[in-house]
Structure 1
Amino acid sequence: MDGFLNLNKPVGFTSHDCVAKLRRLLNTRRIGHAGTLDPLATGVLPIAVGRATRLLQFLRSDKAYRAIIRFGINTTTDDLEGEILNQQPVPHLNLADVKTTLQQFQGTIQQVPPIYSAIQVDGKRLYDLARSGKTADVPARTVDVSDIKIVNWQPGEFPELEIAIACGGGTYIRAIARDLGTALQTFGTLTNLIRTQSSGFDLENSLTLNQLEEQLQPQTFQPILPDEVLGHLEAIALPPPLAQRWSQGQRIAPYDLPETFTTSRAPLRIHTETGAFLGIGQLTDPPTGTVLTARIVFLDSAEAYRQE
């Protein structure tokens, strides 16, 4: 069982909890995930199974969320999982002001991650430092927010804003909730988060743990093939002799490659001429000249042709 699973993470589970559960269900320890979700968050958690765990690094980094932000409250974790630090009604807050201020959070922005996060400072996780009562100087990071749309506005003493966000990897939605509150001269905390898209996987086609178990019992579950989620990478098809040489770790010179070979130095999908996915390669420039090398051999050519 080598491939990907589009998991709909349940509330209350950590990403590690999901991996532990899947190891039991799928009877394998070779399971990894892409893009940690907080316990209170739900939605798309890309899972790699078997040999596909080596391909996680090549997934797209873009993500999308639906989030609800409550104003007038802040917590230790910047969401409702933490202890409330301040609670101050802001019935005067209006949608027009929120809409104007929200614009400054779109584009390439600087963001300080929440103190309760998995980021490491001096070799220690921030949430471990926070739980032990220690403080750390958390440096700001550059993140990309490609789009923010307002979905709903609920006025009141503690108004709530629902937004849809498309962003790059490493963006903390909790930090956006916190910083938006500060920019509006109040507090802000995240009350609900659903990841609707991640690394080419979407919520509509995700499976819950219960749905996965239902498919495993009659043995109808099929993992998603690597080609279905790595389509953003350029592909090269190799004839049988070159496919065999490449899968054995030999370097392939450009004059041996098909005439349509790329000049890109980005990772490449490597296939047989009949379409079987062999792995990830890359053009490199050693002293002897440009060559196609293997970064990840997912399937050797002999196994690929046997499966066909």
Structure 2
Amino acid sequence: MQGFLNLNKPFDWTSHDCVAKTRKLLRLKRVGHAGTLDPAATGVLPIALGKATRLLQYLPGNKAYKATIRLGVQTTTDDLQGEIIASQICAVSLADVETALKQFQGKIQQIPPSYSAIQVEGKRLYDLARKGEVIEAPARTVEIFQIEILDWRSGDFPELDVAIACGSGTYIRAIARDLGIILQTGGTLAALTRTESSGFHLADSLTFSDLEAGTFQPTPPDAALQHLPSITLPATSAQKWCQGQRIPFMDITGTARVYHEDKRFLGIAQAEADMLIPTMVFEPIS
């Protein structure tokens, strides 16, 4: 079995837990995932099966989320799973929030949460934080394509639901934290669901019950790579390419899917300097 699964990750499961469960249910050794989700988050977790694990790096990076942000609260982890370190009744309005959110559009500088999988000097931040060594990761550039308020609930500790479309590497917990900083109220992430990742959508996702029942078909490996241009090679050139040879090709540049003339998906190539260079041969030709 090979291809991709669009898994709806349950609450309180790590992404690694989901891989282990999938491996056990499907009796497969080679299983991987794209785009780690925190245990408290739910939603789309792309799972790769068999040789498709070699294609994870080529999946599109854009993601979308539905998040609930609570104002007036700060925690150690920037979500409700952490220890509350500050709390205050706040009197902010929806208009205040709408104005503040404008600062989260486009390319922004973001500092990842202290409890995250980011590595600093070879050590993951969450491992350091658990030992009491809180180290601030360097700021990095992330991109927010759209952030839209879905609902607003006023009160002593107001909450807002937002839909966020963003690029790879964006921490929604950091957005909640930084919104609280801008509003001078404190803020933390109260709930998070990923609605889209790597071209997979929540509405089409599978549960572990679906996997247990066997009522699913993996997405074909190349079907998840439709954002990449495709190249079809005649039989002779296809065989040479699969053997690691560079093939003269002038019609395209960059990363591309490669197909045999009989429509078989062969792998991934890098097209540059009028040559088609094998990057990952998925289906060798004997």
The normalised TM-score by structure 2 is 0.97
Tell me, yes or no, if the aligned pair for 2:111 and 2:136 is still in contact at 8 Å. no
- For residues 139 and 68 of structure 1, the distance between their equivalents in structure 2, rounded to whole angstroms, comes to 26
- For residues 185 and 167 of structure 1, the distance between their equivalents in structure 2, rounded to whole angstroms, comes to 24
Residue 42 of structure 1: CA displacement?
0.2
Tell me, yes or no, if the aligned pair for 2:65 and 2:165 is still in contact at 8 Å. yes
Q: Which has the larger radius of gyration?
A: 1
What amino acid sits opposite 2:53 in the alignment?
Answer: T
Higher mean displacement: 235-244 or 162-171: 235-244
Tell me, yes or no, if the aligned pair for 1:89 and 1:157 is still in contact at 8 Å. yes
Q: Secondary structure at the match of 1:101?
A: helix
Aligned to 1:250: 245
What amino acid sits opposite 2:167 in the alignment?
Answer: G
Tell me, yes or no, if the aligned pair for 1:113 and 1:172 is still in contact at 8 Å. yes
Shift in CA distance, 221/301, structure 1 to aligned 2, threshold 3 Å: farther
- For residues 75 and 163 of structure 1, the distance between their equivalents in structure 2, rounded to whole angstroms, comes to 20
Q: Is structure 2 residue 170 aligned with structure 1 residue 171?
A: yes
Percent identical residues: 60
Q: Is structure 2 residue 142 aligned with structure 1 residue 143?
A: yes
Task: Please list every run of 5 or more consecutive structure 2 residues that lacks an aligned counterpart in the other structure.
Answer: none
Q: Is structure 2 residue 53 aligned with structure 1 residue 53?
A: yes
Q: Secondary structure at the match of 1:100?
A: helix
Aligned to 2:229: 234
Q: Is structure 2 residue 262 aligned with structure 1 residue 262?
A: no
- For residues 138 and 250 of structure 1, the distance between their equivalents in structure 2, rounded to whole angstroms, comes to 42
Residue 243 of structure 1: CA displacement?
1.3
Aligned to 1:305: none
Aligned to 2:281: 297
Aligned to 1:17: 17
Aligned to 1:279: 267
What amino acid sits opposite 2:179 in the alignment?
Answer: L
Residue 87 of structure 1: CA displacement?
1.3
Tell me, yes or no, if the aligned pair for 1:4 and 1:49 is still in contact at 8 Å. yes
- For residues 137 and 98 of structure 1, the distance between their equivalents in structure 2, rounded to whole angstroms, comes to 26
Tell me, yes or no, if the aligned pair for 1:239 and 1:273 is still in contact at 8 Å. yes
Alignment of 1:66-77 (within 5 A): 66-77=66-77
Residue 201 of structure 1: CA displacement?
0.4
Residue 274 of structure 1: CA displacement?
2.9
Aligned to 1:80: 80
Deviations 1:196-251 (A, max 9, x none): 00010000111011111112xxxx53211122110110110011111111112122
- For residues 95 and 134 of structure 2, the distance between their equivalents in structure 1, rounded to whole angstroms, comes to 36
Tell me, yes or no, if the aligned pair for 1:243 and 1:272 is still in contact at 8 Å. yes
What amino acid sits opposite 2:158 in the alignment?
Answer: P
Tell me, yes or no, if the aligned pair for 2:108 and 2:141 is still in contact at 8 Å. yes
Residue 283 of structure 1: CA displacement?
1.9
- For residues 170 and 255 of structure 2, the distance between their equivalents in structure 1, rounded to whole angstroms, comes to 24
Task: Please list every run of 5 or more consecutive structure 1 residues that lacks an aligned counterpart in the other structure.
Answer: 255-260, 303-308
Tell me, yes or no, if the aligned pair for 2:114 and 2:136 is still in contact at 8 Å. no
- For residues 162 and 116 of structure 1, the distance between their equivalents in structure 2, rounded to whole angstroms, comes to 23
- How many residue pairs get matched? 286
Aligned to 1:114: 113
Q: Secondary structure at the match of 1:271?
A: strand
Q: Secondary structure at the match of 1:267?
A: strand
Q: Secondary structure at the match of 1:246?
A: helix
Alignment of 1:79-98 (within 5 A): 79-90=79-90, 92-98=91-97
Residue 39 of structure 1: CA displacement?
0.4
- For residues 128 and 265 of structure 2, the distance between their equivalents in structure 1, rounded to whole angstroms, comes to 43
Residue 193 of structure 1: CA displacement?
0.2
Tell me, yes or no, if the aligned pair for 1:240 and 1:301 is still in contact at 8 Å. no
Tell me, yes or no, if the aligned pair for 1:3 and 1:224 is still in contact at 8 Å. yes
Q: Secondary structure at the match of 2:247?
A: coil
Tell me, yes or no, if the aligned pair for 1:63 and 1:167 is still in contact at 8 Å. yes
Deviations 1:87-138 (A, max 9, x none): 1111x21101100111101110000000000000010000000000012241
Cα RMSD, aligned residues only: 1.1
Residue 293 of structure 1: CA displacement?
1.6
- For residues 35 and 27 of structure 1, the distance between their equivalents in structure 2, rounded to whole angstroms, comes to 23
Alignment of 1:206-225 (within 5 A): 206-215=205-214, 220-225=215-220
Aligned to 1:100: 99
- For residues 123 and 189 of structure 1, the distance between their equivalents in structure 2, rounded to whole angstroms, comes to 27
